[in-house]
Amino acid sequence: MTELRIEGTHSRAKGLLSRVNLGQYIIYLAFAVTFILFAVALDDRGFLTSGNLMNILRQSAIVGVIAVGMTFVIADAEIDLSVGSVAGLVSVVTAMAISHWGILAGIVAGLMVGMLIGLVNGSLVAFVKIPSFLVTLAMMGIAFGLAQWVTDSAPQPILKQGYNMAFGSGDIGPVPGLVIWFLIIAGCGAFVLKKTRFGRHVISVGANPTASIYTGISVVRTKFLVMLISSVVAALGGMLYAGRLQSGRYQWGQGDEMNAIAAVILGGTALAGGRGSVLGTVFGALFMGLINNGLILAGLSSPQQQVVRGIIIILAVALGSKK
Amino acid sequence: MTVSGCTEPALIRMSGICKSFNGVQVLNDAGFEVRAGEIHALAGGNGAGKSTLMKILQGVYQKDAGTIEIQGRPAQLNTYADARRQGIGMVFQEFSLVPSLTVAQNIYLNDEPRSAMLIRDAEMISGAREILGRMQVDLDPRAELASLSTAYWQLTEIAKALRGEARVLIMDEPTASLARKEADRLFELLRNLREQGIGIIYISHRMEEIYEIADRITILRNGSNLLTKQISEITQEEIVRGIAGKAVALTAAGSSGQCGDVLLKATGVSAQRKLHDVSFEVHAGEVIGVAGLMGSGRTELLEALFGINLTTRGSIVLDGQPMSPRSPRDAIAAGVVLIPEDRRRQGLILKHSVQENLVLPDLSAVLRGGLLSAAAERDRAVQLIGSYGIRGAGPNLPVEVLSGGNQQKVVIGKWLGVGPRLLLMDEPTAGVDIGTKSEIVKQVREFARNGGAVLVVSSEYQELIAMSDRYLIMRGGSIIRSLPADAVRDETTLEMWVQGVEQ
């Protein structure tokens, strides 16, 4: 009708304006500004030493890995709250399998658990069409409970140093192995999201499932796969916890889902789906690590850190959503 | 009681109404009135200005010029709430109801009787019961809406519009989603409300309904009044001619006469939604116009061929190969594509770029070594932008900033780019400017000339006639007639076929 046509021309001018959108890039700016701020203010406390900088990388790495998987889920307009507990469960399963059957069995068992949970999450979300929020909220409790149950709440030490070295405790030259893992996963993630048909389908389904169906894209398959990817990547995160801390424990990864979601959103992926950047997520995770590190160096107590960190995140997101 | 003389002032009188949007004149000196106890039909073709005029009456749009009088007194309607207070109620086409609330809660939504901030449920329920009683409708106000059928949703919608002191009721295509029997009951209700002195503005495309229910009719064309008459003084032909109109000349296609072999043959096809035992053939090089009223099964026919409305019976043979698409993927693989009805929701990903939208249906075309190549994507997008004359945007602009016409060209480019055999189009010229319309018509003709086959659904008859070699007339989910091009001389004859007027 006539009105529709008018609306079209009307929104053209508005659309062009809103196109200059800081949201996707705010994270790089925020990272740079915060980094410089800390570098100046905390210089005398050793912020810029290579040891400290490596520390930031190392401390961001596991949440960063998990956040890469989360980027796919959120870009597809879903959510995965179970990643932290999946990491915890996988850490204990891997540790127990290693002590019984050896390293290879541990790795396989850890990945299998991740895959199994991913299959359940993915099937319930994609085929049964239960909201992912509910499915993964329930799975969060199930995985956490299982991990505590099978271990009787006891830590499961990993004595095979080969595993520990490969999964997070070792270094390659000056670079921590954890950071290498982070780079590999982030590289793969960025590649898949940007360069494959599947990645394009994820973004399309997240932006407009109806148009995607009418374009011949299988929404069900896409949703299933993102949930699967997220769990498997979270399982890898759990194995890295196990290697880095040389043990499996049900608390590993607790609360990581929120940090991962924050990293993804800070990185410019739309919470409502349809837009996603793995590179942004990497910087989102680094930004959170940077803040933690700086606030510790500044001598803030743990409760103070939490408050200040919260304020900084709100500021960053608020700036990003400003047109 | 049909209308007597003009002794009492009209309930509503709008006169000299002008309205333009961004310099485009939509209403020019339009007028309309409705009296107490009258059902006044408002008709006109697409873009005639009916909706705009009614939105002004509801306080949604502000008029640029003209006057509105309510019972003889000039009124200022700046907001929807103003109109409500003046006794103007609207029955929305797409129901404005909340399914999880009860009938009573919906009727009183945002106007709940309260004491000290708390909603008085009992009063609300008895109020709802009173309104429903006035409508002589047997409906429990405590029933949750989600548990009721569409017909009851509409009754609730009407009750909501009548709440307070509504004296005028605006109804926009109220029978579109109703079965015949439900429509009969609705008419009974409208007559009943008329008896109670309520003025009803009845917007409809369906001539037979207008005949059945209305006392007077006003036809708008191009934003001005064409005529206002008593129903008893106007012929069916006059109404049809008035609705069909004639604005800009597009030449009729006529039969191109160069039809090839049968490309698509459907035999006895029924589908899950609204399609019963449909049989037809489409030849290569042929454009078939599918015409019917809203709800006649036009869209459902196209969606059955595209694997969205799953077929339950019958056979479809495309190019000698039997096909029964279970999803759009199947259909696309078989060489069938659909330009969907709702461009913004089904056709495009509005927030994504022109380029991303254009390459999406066939990403394999832009793979280099198995990976998406930005350069190949760009080349393909630029090529499609050129071939389909998409203007006003580079490949990287989000498609939402394009005009309606250019958005539609993106949808067309997106699909013709995959090289289909059968092109399905649902309202391809809706909401696009006149220049784009003729370009679309040309593109469709060209696609057919190159051996493709086209099924096009349109309620814009001018465009339909300009494209089609043959017509299928649909009603109630079936094809009731197949017509050659020369049986449809102009929009009026097509409208008569669609309305079922024998000729």
pLDDT band for position A286 (50/70/90)?
very high
Lowest-confidence pick of A146-150, A161-165, B25-29, B300-304: B25-29
Say if the Cβ atoms of A6 and B21 lie within 8 Å: yes
On the 0-12 / 13-18 / 19+ scale of CB atoms within 10 A, B273 is: middle
- CB of B26 within 8 Å of a chain A CB? The answer is yes
Q: Provide ipTM, 2 decimals.
A: 0.75
Torsion of CA B207, B213, B215, B221, to 10 degrees: -30
Q: How many CA atoms lie within 13 A of A144 on its CB side?
A: 18
Confidence of residue A218 (pLDDT cuts 50, 70, 90): very high
What average pLDDT does the segment B81-102 reach?
83
Average pLDDT over residues B296-324: 91
- Cβ(B494)–Cβ(B464) below 8 Å: yes
**How does B102-116 read in b/e, with b if 16+ C-beta sit within 10 Å?**
bbbbbbbeeebeeee
Q: How far apart are CA B11 and CA B482, in angstroms?
A: 46
Asked if the B261-499 domain carries CATH number 3.40.50.2300, the reply is no
Q: Residue A18 has what pLDDT?
A: 43
Provide mean pLDDT across the span B219-228: 88
In whole angstroms, give the CA distance from residue B163 to residue B144: 19
Cβ burial, residue A13 (10 Å; 0-12/13-18/19+):
exposed
In B, minimum Cα distance to A14 occurs at: B401
- Report the alpha-carbon distance of residue A85 to residue A83 in Å, rounded: 6
Arithmetic mean of pLDDT, B192-208: 88
Nearest to B431 among A5, A15, A207 (CB): A5
pLDDT surpassing 50 at residue B330 = yes
Distance from CA of residue A170 to its chain's centroid? Answer: 22
Quick one: residue B500, left, alpha or beta (phi over 0 = left, psi -120 to 50 = alpha)? left
Residues A275/A34, Cβ–Cβ less than 8 Å: no
Q: Is B345 on the interface with A (CB under 8 A)?
A: yes
| Long-range Cβ pairs for the range A159-166 (8 Å, 24+) | A159/A99, A160/A98, A160/A102, A160/A103, A162/A103, A163/A98, A163/A103, A163/A106, A163/A107, A163/A242, A163/A243, A164/A243, A164/A244, A164/A246, A165/A243, A166/A243
- 8 Å CB contact of B347 and A195: no
Q: Which residues of chain A lie closer than 8 angstroms to B52, CB-CB?
A: 2-3
Lowest pLDDT segment from A277-281, B344-348, B421-425: B344-348
The pLDDT value recorded for residue A6 is 35
Q: Region B427-435: what's the mean pLDDT?
A: 78
Fold of the CATH domain A24-318: ABC transporter involved in vitamin B12 uptake, BtuC (1.10.3470)
Q: What is the pLDDT of residue B290?
A: 94
> Cβ contacts (< 8 Å) between A21 and chain B: which residues?
none
Q: Is the pLDDT of residue A216 over 80?
A: yes
* Cα dihedral sign, B230-B232-B238-B239: positive
Return mean pLDDT, chain A: 89
Handedness of CA B144, B146, B149, B154 (dihedral sign): positive
pLDDT score, position B2: 43
| Whether pLDDT at A192 is above 90 | yes
- pLDDT above 90 covers a percentage of chain A that reads 74
Q: Are strands B478-484 and B118-119 parallel, antiparallel or unpaired?
A: unpaired
pLDDT one-digit tens code per residue, B134-191: 888 888 999 998 888 878 888 898 898 888 778 999 998 887 667 777 888 889 999 9
Element housing A200 (H / E): helix A197-207
B121 φ/ψ angles, rounded to the nearest 5 degrees: -60, -45
Least confident of A104-118, A142-156, B288-302: B288-302
Residue A129 distance to chain B (closest CA, Å): 18
DSSP letter string, B307-348: TSS-EEEEEEEETTEEE--SSHHHHHHTTEEEE-S-IIIII-
The answer to whether B62 faces chain A, any CB pair under 8 Å, is no
Fold of the CATH domain B10-244: Rossmann fold (3.40.50)
Phi, psi of B270, rounded to the nearest 5 degrees:
-120, 155
Helix (H) or strand (E) holding B44: strand B39-44
Q: Does residue A102 have a pLDDT over 70? A: yes
Q: Where are the domains of chain A?
A: 24-318
Alpha-carbon gap: A197 to the closest alpha carbon of chain B (Å) = 6
**pLDDT at residue B250, rounded to an integer:** 52
* Res. B417: pLDDT tops 70: yes
Are residues A110 and A94 in contact, defined by beta-carbon separation less than 8 angstroms? yes
Q: How confident is the model at residue A5 (pLDDT cuts 50, 70, 90)?
A: very low
Burial class (CB in 10 A: 0-12, 13-18, 19+), A281: buried
Residue range B270-284: average pLDDT? 91
Judge whether residue A8 has pLDDT over 50: no
Domain boundaries, chain B: 10-244, 261-499
